[in-house]
Chains A and B, each alone.
Chain A
Amino acid sequence: MIQNRIKALFLYRHTLWDMAISQLKARYASSFSGIYSSLISPFLIMSVITFVFTCVFKVEMRNFPLFIFSGIIPWMFFSNALTESASSILNQLNILRQFNLPREILPLSCVLAHFLNFLVGWVVLYPVFLFFNPKIILLLPFLCIIILLHLVLLLGLGLLLSVLTVLFRDIVYLLSVALMFLFWITPVFYSTAVMPAQFQWIFNFNPMVPFILAYQKILYYGVIPETFLILSVFSWSVMSVILGFIVFSRLENKILKNI
């Protein structure tokens, strides 16, 4: 059955792409800064955090803004894609009423649109990292693998949440709280070492932790991520995508009756 779904999705790959592009176009059609807005908000967050942690908390870390950047960009992709894909079906029910297409397209195209945004962010910022540490160019394959796995993770989570949201509308609100909580327990502006030992286990339940760590390793520290880290990144993504597809196909008929 999964096979059929993937086949159908493959047939609709162009539509998937078109929808992602059209979402991007629609998003930037009425915004002032256009595609650059995907850079402005991480830049602003980075500035705030840098100010708070260097001037207020006196954290002493070399190139602290670069550290922040290496974490904040993936985080924002994660948080934005999750929020929007969660309500992607709910917001586009009318499409389901009219077209008989693989329903997965709705969350998938939403995640894809954010992924494109995310890539644009890297295209601009990667040269900056290169400037400070030219040898990270050798780690580029690792970066690509991590980015792809990151996409897979979000595709899975998007599928899962989008279908659940139709049945339980409160997920949208819970998600925003959950994301805020996750942000603080993700080592974006601190290193894992800061966390007291008795709370280190918390990191294990946060799928973003290995991803952020991997990004930091590759971009900031300029080292190859540990095998364990890569494995956990890989397993998180695969788990999420399998779970997403299973839940989606199970609940699909139920949501169609609800629309």
Chain B
Amino acid sequence: MKIISFNDVWEMYRLKMVVAHKAQWENFWALKGVSFDIEQGETVGLIGGNGMGKTTILKLIMGMLQPDRGQIKVNGRVSGLLELGAGFQPELTGLENVHLNVGLFGVAHNEIDERAKDIVSFAEIGRFINAPVKCYSQGMFVRLAFAIAIHVNFEILLIDDILAVGDEFYQRRCIKKILELKEQGKTIIFVSHDLALLGRLCKRALFMKDGRLIKDDLIDNSISLYSQTIGAKEGVAVLEKKPLDVVFNNGSVFFNWNEKLLTPNTGVTSSFFISNQWYSSTQAEWEVTQVSESEFCARGVFYHVPLTILWRISLCEGNEIKFSFSSEASRLLEIKTGHIDFMFINEYARWVTAVESGEFPVIDLQDAHAKPQLEHNVSRQSIGLLAGGHRREVFIPSLGISYDSCTQVKKTQVYNTDYMGNCRLIRFSTGAFFQDAGLEPQASVYFQGSVVFNVPDINSFLIQKQNDVILTQGDLRLMFNNGSCLLAWAGIYLTKTYHLITLIFSKGKQWPSNNAQWDVEKAGVYSLTARGIRPGLGFVEVWRLEITGKSSFRWQVGLEVKQEIPLEEQYMCFMCSEQYRSWFAAHGRGSFPDNFLETDVDVAQRCIGEGSVGVYSENKQFPTLTVRFSKELNNFAKIMNADFNERARIVRIQRVEPEKDILHSPGTYPCLDVEVVLGEDAPQGTESARSTVQSDKLKFVFEKGRGELFWDGVELTKRLGFYTALRCGGRWYDSLSDALWKVQQKDTLVSARGKWQHLPVSQVWEIRLHSSTSIEVVVKMIVEQEIEVDRIQANLMLLERYTRWTAGKSSGEFSDFKDTLDDDWDSVYRETNGLGCIGVGAVKDSSVYMPAVHVSYRKSSFTWVPTVINSDIYHRARVLQMLNSKTQKIPAGEYMYFIGEIKISH
């Protein structure tokens, strides 16, 4: 049923114009031939600038005005809020005014009391309902007025942009009430400048401009037209080349294809993060200069920051729009990061790059709490969007966005926005850069790129735009692009996100290679040399990539140092697909954890010296990736699980951590060198090299320089377990992370030989079962050349559930862990009486029994001070330690390092 019908309605006002003291009467047409119908139960938004005829329409509906021409039919009672608190008598109390106003709305006399109750409870004025309304705050005033308007009899409710006054809580309640009224089948006509609110409440919107109904369409389409046309005239430009047109409006760019808007909300914008605040291009004051029919220049000046941005946009043949965004500043500005955001309508269902592709999830409009969601980090230069496959009335062209390699962009991200935005977002982020003022302000380009619509073949477009240098042989393909190299096998991408990159730690900062500026030179079909300069570091990193066979390549990284530079760490990173579920290394193999944590996690012991490490997958499409690294260059390997953002498996080849920064003097240095082989079978072997001695209840397990102690199936040790450690030159070298071990087992004897990687030291551990409750540990040390140590230790790290310690006759309780992450743990007790035995008391609680553990020593080449230690909050463990803290030179030779016994008493 048509509840409201406007048929060619014209409305005229007579205005008195005073020009030079002469009054003239002028006819002003507020409405010019407006026709529309509103069905019962519709919620319709009315948008348009000020003085465009919105309120006149409301007045006509309300019957306060009669049309000068045309017909209006309104089939229902009308209520509304056009003038705030109009019927309020300031001297009267709130309640008296409620009675009065309800009457003014035409409610029958006998119903007033009942209505008044509902109104008072909805308005939440509290006891002030009995105070004169002249004392009311603006918010109370609005609440009361709104409460009255919605509690009278009506079929049609008119709301004229007044909800903005109340606080957020009340607004939400009003919105809820409006939705409730909608449910009840009331017709609601809503004028607001809050477009997001309109978007939520209305399905349809009428867009008024200069007294004419410009657009009567779905809310999204009307709003988008409105947001394209509103604003200062100086800041608007339009380029048109059918079927495409580009509208620039005060810091936003909109694209229309056959008048269908493709960029909703704010369209294309850019924003900068400067001194802890975001500055969006929509906040700037814009001035447009039309260069030609197909090109314009826009200059935006920010108020609160001495920054000016210059946009040059041109519309070229082949539905291509070229952008050049640059910035200039009148003083030195540090721009911490910048975004260039492209919003696209949610009809776009898929995104593609030269490498990856994905589907956008459907945005759940019911889920008001959903946040904008990052779909993917694509570090690619070009990205394409494709509309959904299902049939649609309007043609949505495919599109591709790309930027030039010389611009500041560091990251490309694909987002799905929340339900308010309800659109797709392609975000290009710039890294930090300084906007230098200099003597003459110079504009520097921060984004240069283009958008092409209706691309016939999106894939070839993306590859063509992508500035990759490609090496390929057989199934193997390497794509180098600006400091990151993608690895593909038979059309499948084995790496993800950052692919193959290098990282350098220097001056306390991390410098990834994809932030450097690269020059690539292709030497032949199978190899390339790339030289990258990280701005701020005085060297050139040189990559050499060479395909050495059908399924192998070599990757060498070197440095060309121009000035002396401290380097803390340098490594190469293979970010492999999460399809790789297992790893292998010289010392064993294992599986990656199933879930990704907040940070990168080491999954395997570092692999030092000779070797190859790798990852493999059950999925046959992902060939085993073996990385052989150089022994000459002192490289070692780490295998890690990336964090939950990246969701990747990481193989890291690292230079040996030096004791201090490596100070590179000018020259050329080879640093990292690996050979990568695909498809080689992973070496077969046991899960890991574990050796065990055990009696019926006691068990001691040796694994890679670390002993674990079990009693009755329960592990008493934690983390580092039983280990030895030496400190040389202020740096700790411990048996589990710095030595490589070979193990032999004979019945009840485990003997292991470990070679320290960075010290001329080896240890031989002999572990045997002494009795059914004790284990003897003998550690011999072979020193190849004289070393100076300042501390040596043998430790047993036990569970924190042990709360009592004993040492001869002394005993005590452990305190809570100190809130420090210091190298020096908290020593609780130091046994200096030469008794040589320390331990922890048994723990008996409801769940588990843990027997007392004692460690004692016999005379050896070194003197030991038994020490009871409470570790830090990181380890949260009780430690029984044999310590020798004398600084001493140990000449080459063989020593009896430690002879001791670990005893269980129960």
Contacts and interface: CB of A to CB of B under 8 A. Distances in A.
**A complexed with B:** yes
Chain A interface, DSSP helix/strand/loop, else mixed: helix
Interface string A10-51: 011011001100110110011000000000000000000000
Contacts of A14: 103, 109
B378 to A, nearest CB: 55
A25 B96 contact: yes
Contacts of B92: 22, 25-26, 29
A18 B78 contact: no
Contacts of B12: 257
A94 B82 CA distance: 9
A25 B109 CA distance: 20
Nearest to A27: B91
Interface in A83-126: 94-101
Interface string A58-79: 0000000000000000000000
Nearest to A26: B91
Contacts of B394: none
A22 B12 CA distance: 35
A95 B82 contact: no
Interface residues of B, number: 29
B609 interface: no
B586 to A, nearest CB: 85
Contacts of A99: 86-87, 104-105
B410 interface: no
**Most chain A beta-carbon contacts within 10 A, residue among B64, B96, B99:** B64
A232 B57 CA distance: 48
Contacts of B96: 22, 25
A26 B89 contact: yes
A101 B64 CA distance: 9
Nearest to B77: A100
A76 to B, nearest CB: 22
A128 interface: no
Contact of A18 (B86, B90, B103): B103
A11 B65 CA distance: 21
Interface in A217-259: 253, 256-257
A26 B134 CA distance: 11
B66 interface: yes
Given A94-B83, A98-B82, A256-B64, A22 B89 contact: yes
Contacts of A253: 65-66
A83 B90 CA distance: 21
A98 B152 CA distance: 14
Contact of A15 (B59, B64, B81, B104): B104
B132 interface: yes
B63 interface: yes
Contacts of B83: 94, 97-98
A12 B64 contact: no
A85 B96 CA distance: 22
Given A11-B106, A14-B109, A97 B86 contact: yes
B100 interface: yes
A100 B62 contact: yes
A150 B198 CA distance: 54
B14 A95 contact: no
A23 B100 CA distance: 11
A29 B134 CA distance: 12
A94 B87 CA distance: 7
A25 B91 contact: yes
B776 to A, nearest CB: 97
A100 B87 contact: no
Given A18-B100, A29-B91, A29-B132, A12 B106 contact: yes
Contacts of A11: 106
Nearest to B65: A256
A95 B78 CA distance: 15
B13 interface: yes
Contact of A19 (B59, B80, B90, B100): B100
B859 to A, nearest CB: 103
Given A18-B99, A29-B92, A95 B104 contact: yes
Given A29-B92, A29-B132, A97 B64 contact: yes
Nearest to B81: A98
A25 B132 CA distance: 11
A257 B132 contact: no
Contacts of B91: 25-26, 29-30
Contact of B78 (A30, A96, A100, A256): A100
Nearest to B101: A99
A73 B144 CA distance: 40
Contacts of A30: 91
Interface string B93-130: 00010011001111001000000000000000000000
Nearest to A30: B91
> A14, A96, A98, A100: which has the most chain B beta carbons within 10 Å?
A98
Interface in B1-26: 12-14
A94 B12 CA distance: 20
A99 B109 CA distance: 17
A255 to B, nearest CB: 11
B103 A98 contact: no
B86 A22 contact: no
Nearest to B62: A100
A22 B103 CA distance: 12
A99 B100 CA distance: 12
A35 to B, nearest CB: 15
Nearest to A19: B100
B104 A101 contact: yes
B198 to A, nearest CB: 22
Nearest to A99: B104
A26 B90 CA distance: 8
A101 B104 CA distance: 7
Interface in B30-64: 59, 62-64
Contact of A100 (B13, B63, B81, B99): B63
A25 B89 CA distance: 10
Contacts of B105: 99
A11 B91 CA distance: 26
Residue among B65, B106, B132 facing the most chain A CB atoms (10 A cut-off) = B106
A94 B14 CA distance: 19
Most buried by A among B14, B63, B109: B109
B187 to A, nearest CB: 16
A7 to B, nearest CB: 13
B106 to A, nearest CB: 6
Contacts of B66: 253, 256
Interface in A129-176: none
B86 A257 contact: no
A257 B14 contact: yes
Contacts of A25: 89, 91-92, 96
Contacts of A100: 62-64, 78, 106
Contacts of A97: 59, 64, 82-83, 86
B161 to A, nearest CB: 14
A220 B96 CA distance: 41
Contacts of A12: 103, 106
A30 B89 CA distance: 13
Contacts of B103: 12, 14-15, 18-19
A256 B30 CA distance: 14
A96 B63 CA distance: 11
Nearest to A98: B86
A172 to B, nearest CB: 19
Given A14-B103, A22-B96, A98-B81, 13 more contacts: A12-B106, A14-B109, A18-B99, A18-B100, A19-B100, A25-B92, A26-B89, A98-B80, A98-B87, A100-B62, A100-B63, A100-B78, A101-B104
Interface of A: 11-12, 14-15, 18-19, 22-23, 25-26, 29-30, 94-101, 253, 256-257
Task: Give the 10 A-B CB pairs with smallest separation, nearest first.
Answer: A98-B86, A15-B103, A26-B91, A14-B109, A94-B86, A97-B83, A98-B83, A29-B91, A100-B63, A99-B104
12 contacts: A12-B103, A12-B106, A18-B99, A18-B103, A25-B91, A29-B132, A97-B59, A98-B86, A100-B64, A253-B65, A256-B64, A257-B12
